[in-house]
Amino acid sequence: MTQLGEANALVTGASRGIGRGIAEGLAEAGARVAVNHPPGDGEREVAADVVDTIESNGGTAMTLEGDVSDADSVQSMIETFEAEWGTVDVLVNNAGILTQSELADMPVEMWDETMAVDLRGVFLATRFALPGMLESGEGSVVNVASQLGIKGGEELVHYSAAKGGVISFTRALAREVSPEVRVNAIAPGPVETDLLDDISEEWREAKEAELPMDRLGTVEDVVPTAVFLAGEDGSYYTGQVLSPDGGDAMH
């Protein structure tokens, strides 16, 4: 596995699902990992379990509370990280939400919440971590997008639009900050996590039927791509979108 030495990594939305898998994968590769979690009952305990798992395997980790959609919260989170460990060397923007609605029936609040977490959250975390990276002369940003940001999806216009924005953000920022900071994205297909809890069974069955690999993905299918882009083995990659998606988008 790609080795990350003593890199300091921050993974947003790292208390469960893909984020947890990436946090544990980065720690296995040698990074110290901050496990971001949102405020709320039980969230701190779930994140602490991720830290316990990392530490029991010989790694170093800490929890870091912060609402990625709130500028003051994110700025405070980055300041806490830098006070504890120094510059963020690896930033993985993973925090996201997924809801389902046809656009004609979609509450405006659903659109706004999706944009706030899935797109604004990527901007905010990057905005406040980036100055330290640029000052140090190196860094890696890995944004978790989605294959739906490439191909779109019915009843997921808001999610598709946000993730498409993440992809464009990735490419534009890579041109702006390279070669000092590399910026890449991963665009997974549907993955078996709790984000799919609110997706209808009809949607699930239809998606499995159309995937060339004939199954939904797992967290383990996604993690190696994120770790690769974060580390030295991915040092010549910037502005790229890699898709562990079972052949869904084929872009």
Residue 201: which residues within 8 A CB-CB, separation 6 or more? none
pLDDT tens digits along 218-251: 999 999 999 999 999 999 999 999 999 999 999 8
Mean pLDDT of 13-39: 97
Delineate the domains of the chain, giving CATH numbers in brackets: 8-240 (3.40.50.720)
Average pLDDT, the chain: 95
Give the number of C-alpha atoms closer than 13 A to the C-alpha of residue 91, restricted to the C-beta side.
31
Strand order in the sheet with 8-11: 61-65, 32-37, 8-11, 90-93, 139-144, 181-186, 241-242
Lowest mean pLDDT among 38-42, 43-47, 192-196: 192-196
Catalytic residue list contains 236: no
* pLDDT reading at 6 higher than 90: no
Annotated catalytic residue, options 159, 184, 221, 241: 159
pLDDT bucket at 196, cuts 50 / 70 / 90 = confident
Task: Say what the pLDDT of residue 2 is.
Answer: 54
Lowest mean pLDDT among 46-50, 58-62, 199-203, 229-233: 199-203
Distance CA 224, CA 21 (A): 9
